[in-house]
Structure 1
Amino acid sequence: MEKLILDMKRLFILILLLMFSLANAAIIDKERVSIDLKDDGAADFEINIEYPEEVENSDYFIRAQVSNVIVKGGSGRILDCKIEEMDIGTSIICRNIEEKSVTYKFTAYNLIQLGKKMNIFSHQFSITDVKNFLEIMVKIPIGTALVEEERLEFSGLKPFYPENGIEGSDGRRIFIRWLFEKPKLGENINIIIVYEKIVSLDNNIIFYALFIISFATIIAFIFFWRYRNKAKSILPILTESEREVMKIILSSKNVIDQRKIVKETGFSKSKVSRILKNLEERGIIKREKVGRSTKVKFIFGEKKSEEIG
């Protein structure tokens, strides 16, 4: 009995809102609603309403509790509007605005049913104003996707409803958009979306991944630092010709063809061969025949038995 009384009370309030809207509201040319669903169950709304001509008053009603309300006119100025909270929702009432378009922004709550595997967004839009065009677009959170219809077969649900919605993506997020031409006054449009997470990284996995990357970076830095210091430590003890050859070897990632050294230094083959022989005898480089060419590698501080890869 109490539930019946509560339902009758809500119906009575809706009828009063409808009558009030008809008496005070102008015809709406275009209304565009954008809803940004959040991981925590909140939803950010942005409603842009365009009128055929300047209006003195503009109202918006939503069947939810809201916060962070900002209302702007088409001129860009922030409008001073009254917010009235009721049992069945919230009314935003703007008076003496003299604007041709109005944008409402706010955060709404308790419109998303968060589950362990699936989340369900549902909201009812009550048509209390005469509208020529209504667009509703809902973006689901990053890292989520619509649940496949086969998995909802026995639930009576669809991935989204009404089914004439258009699914799309902006490259990062999936959205569903509905277009309504001249929706009927007094009609209720029920929007439902069923979605789920597709990317869920455990904090421990992220921590270990960052640790491995950091460790590898440190090791690489130490290796590079030791290699650079080894290379610098031998250059002062070399002759000018030997230093020129060594600079070419060091700039070629340690392994280089002997013919390239001849080409880049401009030295004769015999001179390069003599320099490399001296460097090899001092344990600074190693030469190895690979087919018809001779490969030269910097090995100072390494075991002489290491093969050239």
Structure 2
Amino acid sequence: MSPVKNQKSKGRKPALIIILALIFLLPLAFSQEEYDYNIESYSIYFDIINDNTVKETIEISLTANTNFSRYVFYSDYPIENPDAIVKINGEMKVVNVSVSKIVGGINAVYVKFPIVHPGDRVEIRISFYSSGMLQNVQNKKQFAYYIKFSQPVGVFYVRLFVPKGYAILSPVIPSPDMVESSENRLVLEWKRENIKAGEEFYFIVGFSGEIKGFSPLWLVVIFVSAFAGGFFAGMLYKERRGKEKVEILRSDEEKIIELLKNGPVLQSELVKRLGVSKAKVSLLLKDMEKKGLIERVKEGRSYLVKLKES
């Protein structure tokens, strides 16, 4: 009898190992499929043209996890003369660029391109002119930019090009990782790695006066002012965060907004229309509530979801 019992117990061990492996691997597989693509790098370049206009260029390098054929960028600022370049697996593709206003006065830049498939490498470059990033604060100009990522990013890179004719003043938040100067302009650079979903950044740079060139002294001023302006920047962040934010939304969030334009929809119905899991829809809606894009009202066992009135 005992040999038979031993054989049964040995047979159960491999099955138990397989079950345990599935328990640990399934959540990992789900998390990898949560996003339509993985963002390896996200770079933003701000070129100050004059007291009112900034040219913004965004470069994104990503790998597709599913089939998709467009990328959407959102901004609270007016967008003019948008242009885009897209490379798929290193090959330049024809793209269509359009701009429209959605709920809350947010501007959406739609970049449409040939469909990409899982594993494809995609490089997107979007550029446009915008106004409103430079504000008059206490008799000086101030550049302010807020961004929040809704999915992980490998490398986040920001460059601000300040033209001849501006003096850098406090605050400069956060302290730049690199500063370069020339006869014609000053360049401030920030770099962050391994960005997590939900992580947010706020950049503030003060300007004043009319000067003909940059002195090396300004490089010292920049780093000193980065520390001196910390408290002021924190207060400004709280007061103006809602006005000056740029959200990077996933394509599923854009689909939800489109569905809600026709009126409120039950959360359970959104699950069916999007074709994704209940858990994923719940997470998406919670994040969109925090962004002030939607409202949810309890109705029976589900929620009634609607666009938030501006």
When you count strand as a share of all residues, which structure comes out higher?
A: 2
Q: Which has the larger radius of gyration?
A: 1
- Structure of higher RCO (CA pairs closer than 8 Å, 6+ residues apart): 2
